[in-house]
């Protein structure tokens, strides 16, 4: 209000002195932007979300969105209460140590010991602004120009590819098997003298696939045999269903394993922007230097509240997991009962399923557009997640409750 008043007064009194920024022609400025950035792909979702916005305005139907990689399950009230308390503490208004508040790194060390029997010292842990920052720091610290990073196809793209490209590396996608899992043979086939690292993501976004302990062991041992670094993005490590038990890649004996994880999904804290990296000190040190130059430290109030999150008994998450499992079952039931749609994996992790829609006569792009236009249901085309996935769509059950999922199912069935 106050700022608005200043603006109005200025417009009234000093019209001649106001400097308007030019609305520029991008081409005129291309020479000033690094050539790296010209290779960066914006998210393919923008077009779909623009269309969603347009349809939301004109349709009487509410939009039911399986599009978001976000959870609408509230952050635990204990964490919110703690956040309110820490904001009254002036310590939370300041930078923390670069690596993260010691008590938080101690709590993380404790967590990895009790969950995976892995003993990390606090020097082997770095707290970051979400796992996205962690990934970025790792790529910048590890990659020389032209170094290749093997990534799963499909995977969490365009983020992974863009980050690797910005860091000067090259992306080498490896086609996953029909269950969207990684076979050691396909890693070996993709190796070149320039291969520096392999990036794993299980449980997987976008497929919901998980890997067993012996599969993770085979992959990490293949990386070890070929002396490449394993970067394991385990952002969904705690979102697993039925009897599946997540294996942390660092449980397998190989020193060049960098584990990345996050508070975002485990505690439904995406907005708090808090992730972390674990690894041997020789690797964590250069990654910390990048982090220091990048952000100095992760958000201090979030770090303080996160200590509380780690000290809560794990069962505190049971209601969230019960709800997610209900949504998962309902989503699988709805989509697999539609003619022309099939699921080729058992999605035992994260909050996504990745069905093949080609037997409807449409590819993933066409199918997504069709659902949005004809029944105001949003799913995301698979084509954005890899080179082999144009017939698929990603369906997220992070944002719809079981009743809404059923409603979406009835709308789709009445069409197809
Ligand atoms: C596989 C994967 N890694 C990392 C992230 C980023 O998470 P964060 O909120 O910790 O940055 C996401 C977010 O959706 C994700 O799906």
pTM score, two decimals? 0.94
User: Which residue's C-alpha comes closest to atom 12 of ligand 1?
Assistant: 235
Alpha-carbon gap, residue 128 to 108, rounded angstroms:
13
Q: Ligand 1 centre and the CA of 338: distance in Å?
A: 30
Q: Per-residue pLDDT averaged across 340-350, rounded?
A: 97
DSSP tag of 128: E
Q: Per-residue pLDDT averaged across 19-43, rounded?
A: 76
Q: Per-residue pLDDT averaged across 313-332, rounded?
A: 96
- State which ligand 1 atom lies nearest to the alpha carbon of 263: 10
pLDDT tens-place string over residues 124-174 = 999 999 999 999 999 999 999 999 999 999 999 989 999 999 999 999 999
Q: Per-residue pLDDT averaged across 370-396, rounded?
A: 95
Q: Of the candidates 176, 169, 174, 201, which has an alpha carbon nearest to the alpha carbon of residue 190?
A: 174
Alpha-carbon gap, residue 59 to 376, rounded angstroms:
8
State how far Cα 48 lies from the chain centre. Answer: 19
Q: Tell me the angle at which helices 318-336 and 402-415 cross, rounded to the nearest 10 degrees.
A: 10
Alpha-carbon gap, residue 117 to 302, rounded angstroms:
26
Q: Which pLDDT belongs to residue 53?
A: 80
Kindly state the percentage of the chain with pLDDT values over 90: 82
The pLDDT of residue 374 is above 70 = yes
The pLDDT of residue 308 is above 80 = yes
Q: Ligand 1 centre and the CA of 362: distance in Å?
A: 29
Laid out side by side, the sheet with 257-262 consists of 125-128, 275-278, 257-262, 229-233, 195-200, 148-153, 170-175
Alpha-carbon gap, residue 165 to 143, rounded angstroms:
10
Q: Which pLDDT belongs to residue 29?
A: 63
Q: Per-residue pLDDT averaged across 176-191, rounded?
A: 97
Please report which confidence band the pLDDT of residue 26 belongs to, taking 50, 70 and 90 as the band edges. low
Q: Ligand 1 centre and the CA of 157: distance in Å?
A: 11
Rg (CA), the chain: 23
Q: Which pLDDT belongs to residue 42?
A: 75
Domains belonging to the chain, first-starting first, are 45-74+317-415 (3.90.1150.10), 77-311 (3.40.640.10)
Greatest mean pLDDT among 27-41, 58-72, 282-296 lies in 282-296
The pLDDT of residue 291 is above 90 = yes
Residue whose tokens read 């999150």: 309
Q: Ligand 1 centre and the CA of 237: distance in Å?
A: 11
User: Which residue's C-alpha comes closest to atom 14 of ligand 1?
Assistant: 69
User: Which residue's C-alpha comes closest to atom 3 of ligand 1?
Assistant: 235
Find all residues with CB under 8 Å of 26, minimum gap 6, and list them: none
Kindly state the percentage of the chain with pLDDT values over 70: 97
- For the beta carbon of residue 151, count every other beta carbon within 10 angstroms: 24
Residue whose tokens read 């990490």: 220
Mutational pocket test of ligand 1: of 127, 159, 354, the residue with most ligand atoms within 8 Å of the beta carbon: 159
Structure tokens at 187: 């890693």
Our CA dihedral for 242, 243, 244, 247, rounded to 10 degrees, sits at 140
Mutational pocket test of ligand 1: of 69, 71, 75, 131, the residue with most ligand atoms within 8 Å of the beta carbon: 131
Q: Which pLDDT belongs to residue 60?
A: 79
Mutational pocket test of ligand 1: of 162, 264, 347, 385, the residue with most ligand atoms within 8 Å of the beta carbon: 264
Partnered with residue 378 across adjacent β-strands are 65
Whole-number average pLDDT of the chain: 94
Q: Per-residue pLDDT averaged across 20-41, rounded?
A: 76
The pLDDT of residue 264 is above 80 = yes
Q: Which pLDDT belongs to residue 33?
A: 84
Please report which confidence band the pLDDT of residue 12 belongs to, taking 50, 70 and 90 as the band edges. confident
Find all residues with CB under 8 Å of 68, minimum gap 6, and list them: 396, 398, 399
Alpha-carbon gap, residue 232 to 324, rounded angstroms:
24
Q: Which residues line ligand 1 (CB under 6 A)?
A: 69, 130-132, 156, 201, 205, 233, 235, 262, 264, 270, 275
Partnered with residue 353 across adjacent β-strands are 395
| 212-229 core/surface letters (b: 16 or more CB in 10 A; e: else) | eeebbbbbbebbbeeebb
Angle at CA 116, nearest 5°, toward 276 and 82?
50
Alpha-carbon gap, residue 353 to 205, rounded angstroms:
9
Please report which confidence band the pLDDT of residue 1 belongs to, taking 50, 70 and 90 as the band edges. low
Q: Per-residue pLDDT averaged across 250-267, rounded?
A: 98
Q: Of the candidates 299, 373, 370, 313, which has an alpha carbon nearest to the alpha carbon of residue 340?
A: 370
Q: Ligand 1 centre and the CA of 297: distance in Å?
A: 19
The pLDDT of residue 28 is above 70 = no
Q: Ligand 1 centre and the CA of 339: distance in Å?
A: 32
Please report which confidence band the pLDDT of residue 15 belongs to, taking 50, 70 and 90 as the band edges. confident
Q: Ligand 1 centre and the CA of 271: distance in Å?
A: 11
Q: Which pLDDT belongs to residue 340?
A: 94
pLDDT tens-place string over residues 71-122 = 999 999 999 999 999 999 999 999 999 999 999 999 999 999 999 999 999 9
Q: Which pLDDT belongs to residue 51?
A: 78
Q: Tell me the angle at which helices 102-116 and 300-311 cross, rounded to the nearest 10 degrees.
A: 30
Q: Ligand 1 centre and the CA of 171: distance in Å?
A: 19
């Amino acid at each position: 209000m106050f700022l608005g008043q200043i603006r109005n007064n200025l417009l009234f009194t000093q019209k001649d002195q106001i400097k308007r920024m030019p609305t520029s022609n991008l081409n005129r400025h291309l020479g000033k932007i690094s050539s790296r950035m010209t290779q960066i792909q914006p998210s393919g979702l923008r077009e779909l979300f623009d269309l969603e916005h347009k349809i939301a305005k004109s349709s009487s139907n509410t939009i039911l969105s399986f599009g978001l990689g976000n959870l609408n399950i509230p952050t635990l009230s204990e964490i919110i209460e703690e956040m309110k308390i820490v904001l009254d503490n002036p310590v939370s208004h300041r930078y923390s140590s670069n690596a993260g508040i010691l008590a938080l790194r101690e709590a993380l060390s404790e967590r990895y010991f009790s969950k995976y029997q892995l003993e990390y010292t606090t020097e082997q842990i770095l707290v970051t602004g979400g796992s996205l920052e962690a990934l970025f720091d790792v790529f910048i610290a590890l990659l020389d120009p032209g170094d290749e990073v093997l990534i799963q196809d499909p995977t969490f793209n365009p983020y992974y590819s863009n980050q690797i490209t910005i860091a000067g590396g090259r992306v080498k996608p490896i086609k996953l098997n029909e269950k969207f899992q990684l076979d050691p043979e396909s890693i070996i086939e993709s190796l070149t003298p320039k291969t520096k690292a392999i990036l794993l993501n299980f449980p997987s976004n976008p497929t919901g696939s998980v890997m067993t302990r012996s599969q993770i062991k085979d992959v990490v041992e293949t990386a070890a045999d070929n002396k490449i670094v394993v970067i394991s993005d385990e952002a969904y490590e705690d979102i697993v269903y039925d009897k599946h038990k997540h294996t942390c890649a660092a449980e397998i004996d190989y020193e060049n394993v960098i584990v990345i994880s996050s508070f975002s999904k485990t505690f439904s804290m995406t907005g708090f922007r808090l992730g972390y990296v674990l690894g041997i000190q020789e690797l964590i040190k250069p990654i910390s230097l990048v982090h220091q130059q990048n952000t100095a430290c992760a958000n201090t109030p979030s770090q303080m509240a996160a200590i509380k999150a780690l000290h809560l008994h794990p069962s505190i998450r049971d209601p969230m997991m019960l709800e997610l499992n209900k949504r998962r079952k309902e989503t699988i039931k709805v989509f697999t009962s539609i003619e022309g749609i099939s699921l080729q994996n058992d999605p035992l992790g994260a909050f996504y399923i990745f069905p093949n829609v080609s037997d409807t006569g449409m590819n993933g792009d066409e199918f997504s557009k069709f659902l949005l236009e004809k029944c105001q249901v949003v799913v995301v085309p698979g084509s954005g997640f890899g080179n082999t996935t144009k017939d698929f769509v990603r369906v997220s059950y992070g944002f719809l409750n079981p009743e809404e999922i059923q409603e979406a199912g009835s709308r789709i069935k009445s069409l197809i």
